[in-house]
A and B are shown apart, each in its own frame.
Chain A
Amino acid sequence: MEAGAPANPNPPQAAPGKASSRTRSERKLAWMLCAPAVLAMLLVTAYPIAYAVVLSLQDVDLRFPDEGGFVGLSNYTAVLSSDLWWTDLFNTVFIMVVSVAIELALGMAIALVMYRAIFGRGVVRTSVLIPYGIITVVAAFAWQFAFSPETGFVNNLPLISDEMDWFGGRFSSFAVIIMAEVWKTTPFMALLLLAGLVTIDSQLYEAARVDGATAWQRFTRITLPLMKPAILVALLFRTLDAFRVFDTIFIMTRGALDTESVSILGYNQLISRLNLGLGSAVSVLIFLCVFLIAFIFVRGFGTKLDEGRPGG
């Protein structure tokens, strides 16, 4: 049922500066209404990340419960001096950069199709929502089966070698992983960009056309600059989301042949090897990477993202 009803029989009217007791009760009510949601959000983020920091400074391995104790930063030095961490970080950043770049280009094209289409706008919007509604794991299986040399139809297509073993090599695996990620998340990008696109005053285009601007000039001189905030929001969300890539890789390769992402590394240490100390160090490092990416976006791209400041 709807919120607020029983708790707020006399909705405070906006009467600035009139009655301070009213303002005070309004504040109290507002805090009471927000408290449950705030607590629920902190419960599984602030406390666990603090606990992860504590764990990462200890030698906690559930297979050897008798050992343990404070070990300082040695878990971090162990992670940071291992080749595996740097390989996985490279993989993650590689997949993130390539897939977000493709998504931006493709998402922009789809947004323009939805915006400018002479006909069929509804059909396009309908079909881009299909990937959004599909479970990531299911999409990963679909593409895995499609590219598998045994069951797949892809190797049967013209121009593609029948013998191609997509999951037999590192970068051919990345190609399939990136393709699945792009397929699944481009709709979100396209919809965010479309939302930015519709806010542009169409008279600007008319004026530019009258002045003799070509379609490409209109796109680069009007559309892109005015869409900068929408593009940055979409890029920030998708970049951070892509950095967390886990489901698709887990289903397709489980990290074999050097295709692990940092999230898979964290999962393997924590859940498969039950090494909570090392795994937590990986978790904290991932958290710092995400923080860094968000910080770069906010600092690098100015004021429009001011509500995107992390660390709340």
Chain B
Amino acid sequence: MEQRNGRDYALWSIAIFLVVALALIPVLWLISISLKPPEELTDQRFIPQSVSFDNYKSLFEGGIDDSPFIKPLINSIGIALITTVISIVLASFAAYAIARLEFPGKRLILAGALAIAMFPPISTVGPLFDMWRALGLYDTWVGLIIPYLTFSLPLAIYVLVAFFREIPWELEQAAQVDGATPFQAFTKVIVPLAAPGVFTAAILVFIFCWNDFLFAISLTSSDASRTVPAALAFFTGESSFTAPTGSIAAAAVVVTVPIIVFVLIFQRRIVAGLTAGAVKG
């Protein structure tokens, strides 16, 4: 075993401190800018000298119609949630078949999904822009949900196949031998076993949709469907003379902190999900 002397301990402490500090600095920095009053914004200090919540207030001022932030926030949450539900349902069907059934084309589907995971989204932006304008899907929720669905399915399928392969499916038959109906065997035995994997895939798909920027700025033109990342890029200041730095930072904190808390709560699952496809694939 490793010698656990004082020098090792100090070296590990430094390494761990460095990793933690580097991961946290941008987040703390955003919080810091978002709390600085405008006159201190250019003081080049990492820690604000006085704290003001005006940037946060300005985000929500004017209610749903005039706030630059509320509608994009609703769009982001709604589009990501709807995509996640559809993507997980479709991916679960496919992953069940791939993990449990023998059929020709299985490898082709997995290889195709991997190819799509590597596909450059910019290559589809032009055609989608043209098609969506013709079909009336430009600047709508559906117009974003469809490409998000396509590009999140490979991720969901890989994660779910990896999880489904680990499920002891014989238990389903065992339950039926014990007198459970097929439906009961499925809902009482298989669903609880599959739920963690499904949940993991759902988190990863949600984060994928939440993060997208390219489709969000290419296929939207107004608050009708613009999501938070796109809205941030088009933020303007309170008046045309003030820079939007403070409000961008505040909006960034609002959309970042809940996700970070969520990611940290479910970190074990996320790590398992992120690496599931890679090791076996």
B179 CB, min distance to chain A CBs, angstroms = 16
Number of interface residues of B (CB under 8 A): 114
Given the complex, which residues of B lie within 8 Å of A294, measured CB to CB?
115, 118
Given the complex, which residues of B lie within 8 Å of A132, measured CB to CB?
207, 263, 270, 274
- Which chain A residues in 117-171 approach chain B with CB under 8 Å? 117-120, 123-139, 141-143, 145-146, 150-153, 155-156
Taking a contact as CB atoms under 8 Å apart, the answer to whether B263 and A45 are in contact is: no
Given A5-B186, A34-B98, A267-B214, A113–B19 Cβ distance below 8 Å? yes
A-B contact count, CB below 8 Å? 346
**Interface stretch of the complex, out of B50-58, B60-68, B99-107:** B99-107
Given the complex, which residues of B lie within 8 Å of A94, measured CB to CB?
none
Closest chain B residue to A278 by CB distance?
Answer: B126
Taking a contact as CB atoms under 8 Å apart, the answer to whether B275 and A250 are in contact is: no
Given the complex, which residues of B lie within 8 Å of A246, measured CB to CB?
122, 213-214
Main secondary structure of the interface of B (DSSP, over half): helix
Main secondary structure of the interface of A (DSSP, over half): helix
How extensive is the interface on chain A, given as a class? 35 or more
Taking a contact as CB atoms under 8 Å apart, the answer to whether A137 and B271 are in contact is: no
**Interface stretch of the complex, out of A23-31, A66-74, A95-103, A217-225:** A23-31
Closest chain B residue to A34 by CB distance?
Answer: B94
Closest chain B residue to A182 by CB distance?
Answer: B22
A266 CB, min distance to chain B CBs, angstroms = 5
A259 interface contact, C-beta 8 A: no
Taking a contact as CB atoms under 8 Å apart, the answer to whether A55 and B278 are in contact is: no
Given the complex, which residues of B lie within 8 Å of A151, measured CB to CB?
33, 41-42, 44, 245
Taking a contact as CB atoms under 8 Å apart, the answer to whether A145 and B245 are in contact is: yes
- Which chain A residues in 1-52 approach chain B with CB under 8 Å? 1-5, 7-14, 23, 26-27, 29-31, 33-34, 36-38, 40-41, 43-45, 47-49, 51-52
Given contacts A31-B105, A134-B27, A145-B245, could you give 9 more A-B pairs where the C-beta distance is less than 8 Å? A37-B93, A120-B12, A127-B23, A133-B263, A134-B259, A138-B252, A196-B279, A290-B118, A312-B114
- Closest 8 pairs between A and B when the two form their complex, measured CB to CB: A312-B112, A3-B92, A44-B150, A48-B127, A30-B103, A195-B275, A133-B263, A127-B23
Please give the residue numbers on chain B whose beta carbons come within 8 Å of chain A beta carbons, in ascending order.
Answer: 2, 4, 8-9, 12-13, 15-16, 19-20, 22-24, 26-27, 29-30, 33, 41-42, 44-46, 89-98, 100-131, 146-147, 149-151, 153-154, 157, 169, 172-173, 182-183, 186-187, 190-191, 194, 198, 207, 210-211, 213-214, 217-218, 228-229, 232-233, 245, 248-249, 252, 255-256, 259-260, 262-264, 267, 270-271, 274-275, 278-279, 281
